[in-house]
């Protein structure tokens, strides 16, 4: 049987990096079974032990920073600074955060119980790892967006089978190189090589949770495939993030923020600024300053390079189509969309309208459309009209106004007077709404997303029968009704006891000392009334 291969080429210059053998379909199930066996061992370890085993990875990333950076530059086309900021720093911050907090985040939680409804009982819940998590990751941040969910799954006690994009297979190989020296149970982490068909095969082998990062259409396919079994999914999908600049904003800071938010990693960021709204009175000077700033950005990998290559050949055609559509419908541009191989010069567009593709669909490239606004309510409706809800940045010296506006927008994340940085905060949950997906990772909530909750209650009662057990009778109905009125009815406690006194006596043997104070209070009350 002929083994299929995938060749990987560098977007820097088109050179062939390596050919990889596609994982045969029959191997996918075996690797899933191997990961499941290893996960049974791994999940028995304490959180502290898991963290200790994983901790050398953090040291390795720091010690081998330059080599890892060069490997990622070759695969993704990023400039080196983008590798540090977007690929490596978030992982180091995450590992440091979970090293300090994961034990408390995943610790069992006691829950108080009513001494009346649950006498002699204790309750609580704990977080149980799913088993095996399938991680399917994209090409734009192949190291970070693979390792972040992979490590979260491991810390939570799961095994992992992961598939990197076929455009970034050398990064999958790098991840295995980084994990191999760790004292993990053999087979706990498995890597699959392949395209969409391998991803479908992975889901058919029934992992216990699917974590997918990618585009909306692929996310729909993943969700539909998982629903057949069913398997829970976390979908981190695209964005069309808005930046809202009010007239009282710091002009130069907001211009620089727009420049970075739109064009870092050549716009290949799910939380990139892809729609810029500027208040009327500031609009002209803002666009003028922005165009001046864009003109001096350096494209390429020289010492002063700001923007790297576009990683995906398909994405180049998407970007070019949106640019042509905008100009055909009347937009003005800061310059032509100049292409040199996989490199594109960034472009600012104005005189854009809401019906243009560039204002409605994800661009994932170095184009920034700018529109003006005059009314805050109208602005909210325009932002909401696009059904992506990932991130938004709001710029104003009036922090209260900015917060109030943020809370009106259907997004999973927001930031005031800055861009993107909130996504890098390891303690903040991250995820979207609408076409930006659902589910969260990062932070405490994100770590718990890789577990399911198991609740339990222990009764220490020694009665032969509970008051809610059979047999039922009309008398028991009246007693239970009185009990509900006593717990939840109107009036004071003593008043509720008084009107239900006769029926409540049936519960004395169950309540014991827990109700004793109420009974004593009532007897004192009755005694005083009699005297």
In percent, the amount of the chain with pLDDT more than 70 equals: 95
**In contact, 39 and 131? CB cutoff 8 Å:** yes
Say if residue 514's pLDDT is above 50.
no
Domain 241-423 listed as CATH 3.50.50.60 = no
> Could you read off the pLDDT of 333-384 as tens digits, one per residue?
999 999 999 999 999 999 999 999 999 999 999 999 999 999 999 999 999 9
Domain 27-237+445-454 listed as CATH 3.40.605.10 = yes
> Could you read off the pLDDT of 285-317 as tens digits, one per residue?
999 999 999 999 999 987 779 999 999 999 999
Helix (H, G, I), strand (E, B) or coil at 255: helix
Tokens of 275: 């729609």
Element housing 486 (H / E): helix 474-488
Provide mean pLDDT across the span 509-520: 55
The full set of domain ranges for the chain reads 27-237+445-454, 241-423, 464-530
Q: Which of 82, 236, 361, 362 is catalytic?
A: 236
Given this model, what pLDDT does residue 274 score?
98
Q: pLDDT grade, residue 497 (50/70/90)?
A: confident
Say if residue 493's pLDDT is above 80.
yes
Given this model, what pLDDT does residue 524 score?
53
Given this model, what pLDDT does residue 244 score?
98
> Could you read off the pLDDT of 413-440 as tens digits, one per residue?
999 999 999 999 999 999 999 999 999 9
236 catalytic per annotation: yes
Provide mean pLDDT across the span 248-260: 98
Given this model, what pLDDT does residue 513 score?
36
264 catalytic per annotation: no
Helix (H, G, I), strand (E, B) or coil at 239: coil
**Same-fold call for 27-237+445-454 versus 241-423:** no
Tokens of 53: 């085993």
**In contact, 266 and 461? CB cutoff 8 Å:** no
Q: Which of 73, 93, 91 is nearest to 11 (CA)?
A: 73
In percent, the amount of the chain with pLDDT more than 90 equals: 89
Distance separating alpha carbons of residues 91 and 59, to the nearest angstrom: 11
Q: Which of 87, 166, 264, 270 is catalytic?
A: 270
Say if residue 505's pLDDT is above 90.
no
Given this model, what pLDDT does residue 114 score?
83
> Could you read off the pLDDT of 115-167 as tens digits, one per residue?
778 888 999 999 999 999 999 999 999 999 999 999 999 999 999 999 999 99
Half-sphere exposure of 228 (CA within 13 A, CB side): 10
Least confident of 32-41, 293-302, 417-426, 520-529: 520-529
Helical pair 196-204 and 216-227, crossing angle rounded to 10 deg: 30
Say if residue 237's pLDDT is above 60.
yes
Say if residue 1's pLDDT is above 70.
no
Provide mean pLDDT across the span 466-493: 93
Q: What is the DSSP letter of 528?
A: H
Say if residue 528's pLDDT is above 60.
no
Which residue reads 């390596």 in tokens?
Answer: 18
Quote the pTM value: 0.94
Average pLDDT, the chain: 94
Q: Which of 73, 67, 65 is nearest to 91 (CA)?
A: 65
């Amino acid at each position: 049987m002929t083994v299929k291969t995938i060749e990987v080429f560098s977007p820097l210059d088109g050179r062939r990096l390596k050919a990889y053998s596609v994982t045969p379909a029959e191997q996918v199930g075996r690797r899933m079974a191997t990961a499941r066996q290893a996960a049974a061992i791994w999940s028995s370890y304490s959180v502290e032990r898991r963290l200790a085993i994983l901790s050398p990875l953090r040291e390795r990333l720091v010690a081998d920073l330059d080599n890892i950076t060069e490997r990622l530059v070759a695969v993704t086309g990023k400039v080196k600074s983008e590798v540090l900021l977007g690929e490596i720093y978030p992982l180091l911050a995450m590992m440091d955060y979970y090293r300090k907090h994961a034990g408390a985040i995943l610790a069992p939680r006691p829950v108080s119980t009513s001494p009346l409804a649950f006498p002699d009982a204790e309750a609580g819940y704990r977080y149980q790892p799913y088993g095996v998590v399938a991680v399917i990751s994209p090409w734009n941040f192949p190291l970070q967006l693979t390792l972040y969910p992979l490590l979260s799954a491991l810390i939570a006690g799961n095994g992992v089978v992961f598939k990197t994009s076929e455009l970034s297979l050398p990064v999958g190989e790098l991840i295995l190189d980084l994990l191999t020296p760790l004292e993990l149970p053999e087979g706990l982490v498995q890597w699959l090589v392949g395209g969409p068909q391998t991803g479908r095969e992975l889901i058919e082998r029934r992992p216990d949770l699917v974590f997918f990062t990618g585009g909306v259409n692929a996310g729909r396919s993943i969700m539909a495939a998982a629903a057949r079994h069913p398997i829970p999914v976390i979908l981190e999908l695209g964005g069309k993030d808005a930046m809202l600049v009010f007239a009282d904003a710091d002009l130069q800071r907001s211009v620089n923020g727009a420049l970075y938010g739109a064009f870092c990693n050549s716009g290949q960021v799910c939380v990139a600024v892809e729609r810029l709204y500027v208040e009327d009175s500031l609009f002209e000077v803002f666009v003028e300053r922005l165009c001046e700033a864009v003109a001096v950005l350096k494209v390429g990998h020289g010492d002063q390079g700001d923007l790297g290559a576009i990683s995906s050949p398909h994405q180049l055609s998407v970007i070019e189509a949106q640019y042509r559509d905008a100009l055909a419908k009347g937009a003005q541009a800061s310059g032509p969309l100049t292409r040199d191989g996989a490199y594109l010069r960034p472009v600012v567009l104005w005189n854009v309208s809401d019906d243009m593709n560039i204002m409605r669909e994800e661009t994932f490239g170095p184009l920034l459309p700018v529109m003006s606004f005059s009314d805050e309510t109208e602005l909210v409706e325009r932002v909401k009209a696009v059904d992506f809800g990932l991130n938004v940045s709001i710029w104003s010296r009036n922090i209260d106004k900015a917060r109030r506006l943020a809370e009106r927008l259907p997004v999973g994340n927001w930031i005031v007077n800055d861009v993107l940085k909130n996504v890098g905060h390891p303690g903040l949950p991250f995820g979207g709404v609408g076409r930006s997906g659902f589910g969260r990772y990062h932070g405490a909530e994100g770590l718990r997303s890789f577990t399911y909750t198991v609740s339990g209650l222990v009764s220490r009662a020694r009665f032969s029968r509970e008051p809610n057990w059979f047999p039922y009778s009309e008398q028991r109905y009246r007693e239970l009704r009185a009990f509900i009125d006593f717990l939840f009815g109107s009036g004071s406690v003593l008043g509720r006891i008084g009107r239900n006194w006769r029926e409540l006596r049936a519960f004395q043997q169950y309540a014991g000392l827990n109700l004793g104070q109420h009974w004593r209070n009532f007897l004192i009350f009755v005694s005083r009334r009699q005297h």
